[in-house]
């Protein structure tokens, strides 16, 4: 939780230090490192981290891939990953409406449709 709060507060160096205390196989270790890289303008590093997680986690982490891609500004890729998460019935989908990492997608009609498909109210 500390890494989450620090990340969302824009305290990236502190968030990175907190993230590095997580086991390296923890999904948030990959997500936060990728998001920090993306927000720092290092898209190549963000993509490399996503690719590394994909090699490790395969189809078990489409929701996390969507978070990373949303933060990279890849709306098409993020929506594609969210659809895959839905196909694989990712339990984390229940958190999508309040997940701040999806903020870049909030105005995208495809994201709003996905929320409706999940039976969440769309404002």
- The CA–CA distances, whole Å, from 31 to 22, 100, 107, 110, 119 equal 12, 13, 22, 22, 26
The phi, psi pair for 21, rounded to 5°, reads -85, -15
For the chain, which residues make up each domain, given as ranges? 2-117
| Range 2-117 classified under CATH 1.25.40 | yes
pLDDT in tens, the chain (123 residues): 899 899 999 999 999 999 999 998 899 999 999 999 999 999 999 999 999 999 999 999 999 999 999 999 999 999 999 999 999 999 999 999 999 999 999 999 999 999 988 888 776
Structure confidence at residue 123 (pLDDT): 65
pTM over 0.85: yes
């Amino acid at each position: 939780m500390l890494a989450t709060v620090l990340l969302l507060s824009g305290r990236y160096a502190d968030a990175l230090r907190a993230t590095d205390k997580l086991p390296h196989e923890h999904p948030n270790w990959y997500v936060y490192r990728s998001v920090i890289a993306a927000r720092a303008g290092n898209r190549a590093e963000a993509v490399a981290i996503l690719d590394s997680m994909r090699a490790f986690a395969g189809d078990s982490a489409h929701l996390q891939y969507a978070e990373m891609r949303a933060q990279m500004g890849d709306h098409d890729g993020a929506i594609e990953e969210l659809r895959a998460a839905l196909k694989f019935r990712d339990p984390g989908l229940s958190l999508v409406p309040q997940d701040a990492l999806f903020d870049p997608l909030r105005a995208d009609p495809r994201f709003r449709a996905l929320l409706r498909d999940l039976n969440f109210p769309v404002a």
